[in-house]
A and B are shown apart, each in its own frame.
Chain A
Amino acid sequence: MLGEGIIKGLAETARNFFGSYLTKERLTTVQYPEERLPQNEAFRNFPFLVFDGADSEAGLRCVSCHICEKECPPKCIFIEKSKDKKPDAVGKPQFYPVVFDIDVSVCMSCQICVEVCPFDAIKMDVEYDYPTEDRFAALLFNKHQLAKSNDYYHQIHPTEASAVDAALAAERESAAAKAAATAAAAAKTAAAKVSAESRAVKASPDSAVESITEPPLSGGDGL
């Protein structure tokens, strides 16, 4: 019969239409600005800089190594390295970024920067509400806008943040153990040296401490 196929199709449409009153499955629309779906934990949008502790300046994990700047595919990161050094979380003097800018109008949220960062200093944010009337300055995020606390990181990506914290703690521990071992070994050699040499010569006790110059974290290779 001509028109049979059309009627069958319309029956299907009707089933969906009336079904939308009965089952949640057929009514999938979410009234966006008022209703919002819960965010996936893995969701990523733009990068931010993680800092430990309370001070967003002193606690910044970034050591200004320029790896993310070089690896960023659309080149949206701009870093200026400091002249002086400040102590990082382990207490080792490190450079820090004087300027760290991300142009989020260029950023394509690929998270390559997160993958290549050897210091776990840059992570992906989940914030997506950035409406603005200014096309340029308002979308160029500086160091202060980008710095967010480790607690915030735990809030948005709990699993990932815990893993990162555990890895960092392990690294810190091994670095501390290594430093202790080196210090002990150096003290031993110094002691041996002292005893071997004639007592008339006085050994400097400070010479042992200076040998700890190895970086605690592996990374920054080749660049």
Chain B
Amino acid sequence: MSTTYAPVSEPITGSAPVTGRPAPRPATPVLSGPDLPEQYLELSMGPQHPSTHGVFRMNVVLDGEQVVKLKPVFGYLHRNHEKIAESESYLGNMPYTDRLDYICSITNNWAYALAVEKLGSIEVPERAEYIRVITGELTRLQNHACLLGFLLQDMGASGTPLMYAFREREKVLDLFESLTGARMMCNYLRFGGCRVDLPPGWLNRAKAFLADFPRFLDEFERLLVGNEILMERTQGVGVLSRELAISAAISGPMARASGLNYDIRKADGYSIYNRFSFRVPLGSHGDVYDRYMIRFLEMRESVKILDQAMRDIPDGPIQNPAVKARLFRPKPGEAYGRIESPKGELGFYLISDGSGIPYRYRVRPPSLINLTVLEDLCLGHNVADVIAVLGSVDIVMGEVDR
């Protein structure tokens, strides 16, 4: 049962869904409590479950091993992010955005900076745009590497793939630390540019890392692609149809694994993404396997973008001198800035009333919205498959609960 996959922008041609697996059943109306029929068992998975990536609970109703109903329960990590933001200055909100999706802080900064820049009609210097693309794509690399490690860990490949993935991630975090001062809470972008310029030698180190990265990808693919256990666990599991992906507003790699050709880097062409040649990988089945593979393909495309960006980066200023970080007061109005974060469409919606703090501040988190279809993906599958499905959605609870 070997698997091949075609090059990018062609659907992933995995082997046919594994036969012998029971077809997913339609949802049956099940009530919990005393009305629960006797053959069903209601189980609370989480909130402290190693596979739930933080504190996340699923109320699962089981018929034997099979899921007949699943209700996600979130809110355990709620930190009042949006309301706090309405009492902080525009600058003061920047470090809080780091803590949304704490694995990719720079893309969070970027989405927020983009929204504020729209609000205040701020131009960004060319070099700063390149730095944003470079750091943003490095963030994508480390996020996807992390996710693959976590997904395999959840499915029982204890340790090894996760450690290999973290080894690579650590190299990206080292680059981030020497640039921004922090490994994860970078707080790097500013309205109209970036906080500091690249230190001397940074670009060469990043280039060296990038030259080495495809080797890691090959190694990681050899490690598990074609592994019979992985195939059995992932193919045909948690199928998300293209129609459901569209109607549930799924975005990011999860939508693309279902064959939906939608990438905001292409659709909006924000920043300078229209200068780079890269392709959007698409899946064809929309199962866990496609969601797993699509991350590999996206990382390969990110490497291409990074190669071009590091080649073309110009000299120049990194910050628009007209913008003062402190005492920034945009004109009254509203703006929605969105980017293709590693997890999907990350958007910030801001309303300004002309004062120094946002009147309304709203986050459109990809993790939460991608998580809403969890029940549809899990029905009819076994309990163990729920873990694999959840892992493939790629959630970070900091972003889901905010």
Q: Which residues of A contact B (CB under 8 A)?
A: 2-6, 8-9, 12-13, 16, 28, 40-44, 67, 71-73, 108-112, 115-116, 124, 221-222
Contact = CB atoms under 8 A, between A and B. Distances in A.
Given A112-B91, A221-B327, A222-B327, A124 B227 contact: no
A73 B96 contact: yes
A2 B228 contact: yes
Contacts of B2: 4-5
Nearest to B164: A16
30 contacts: A2-B228, A5-B2, A5-B228, A8-B222, A9-B224, A9-B226, A12-B223, A28-B170, A40-B177, A40-B178, A42-B178, A42-B181, A43-B181, A44-B181, A71-B89, A71-B91, A71-B326, A73-B95, A108-B185, A109-B182, A109-B185, A111-B187, A112-B94, A112-B187, A115-B91, A115-B326, A116-B91, A116-B326, A124-B181, A222-B327
A12 B164 CA distance: 11
Nearest to A70: B89
Given A71-B91, A71-B326, A109-B182, A9 B227 contact: yes
A13 B223 contact: yes
A73 B93 contact: yes
Contacts of A13: 160, 223
Nearest to A13: B160
B383 interface: no
Interface residues of B, number: 42
A37 to B, nearest CB: 9
Nearest to A43: B181
B179 interface: yes
Interface centre among B91, B182, B219, by most chain A C-beta atoms within 10 angstroms, is: B182
B177 A9 contact: no
Nearest to A73: B92
A124 B181 CA distance: 10
Interface of B: 1-2, 88-89, 91-96, 98-99, 160, 164, 167, 170, 174, 177-182, 185, 187, 195-196, 199, 219, 222-231, 325-327
A44 B188 CA distance: 13
Contacts of B226: 4-5, 8-9
A124 to B, nearest CB: 7
A145 to B, nearest CB: 22
B182 A44 contact: yes
Contacts of A110: 94-95, 98, 185, 187
Contacts of B225: 5
Contacts of A115: 91, 195, 325-326
With a 10 A CB-CB cut-off, give which of B88, B181, B223 has the most chain A CB atoms: B181
B230 to A, nearest CB: 8
B253 to A, nearest CB: 23
Given A40-B177, A41-B178, A44-B182, A3 B95 contact: no
Nearest to B93: A73
Contacts of B231: 5
Contacts of B170: 28
Given A2-B1, A40-B181, 15 more contacts: A5-B2, A5-B224, A5-B228, A5-B230, A6-B227, A8-B227, A16-B164, A16-B219, A42-B196, A108-B95, A108-B185, A110-B187, A112-B91, A112-B92, A116-B91
Nearest to B219: A12
A217 to B, nearest CB: 15
Contacts of B187: 110-112
Interface centre among A41, A110, A116, A222 (most CB of B within 10 A): A110
Contacts of B325: 115-116
Nearest to B177: A40
Contacts of B195: 115
Nearest to B179: A42
A111 B224 CA distance: 42
Contacts of B223: 9, 12-13
Contacts of A16: 164, 219
Nearest to B160: A13
Contacts of A44: 181-182
A221 B327 CA distance: 9
B359 to A, nearest CB: 18
Contacts of A43: 177, 181-182
Nearest 5 A/B pairs, CB to CB: A110-B95, A5-B226, A44-B181, A5-B227, A73-B92
Contacts of A40: 174, 177-178, 181
A115 B326 CA distance: 9
A12 B182 contact: no
A43 B199 CA distance: 13
Contacts of A116: 91, 325-326
B181 A6 contact: no
B125 to A, nearest CB: 18
Contacts of A9: 222-224, 226-227
B180 A42 contact: yes
A42 B199 contact: yes
Given A3-B228, A42-B199, A112-B95, A12 B88 contact: no
A86 to B, nearest CB: 26
Contacts of B229: 6
Contacts of B196: 42
Given A5-B225, A9-B222, A28 B178 contact: no
B355 to A, nearest CB: 13
Contacts of B222: 8-9, 12
A12 B225 CA distance: 12
A4 B61 CA distance: 37
B59 to A, nearest CB: 34
A213 to B, nearest CB: 24
Contacts of B93: 73
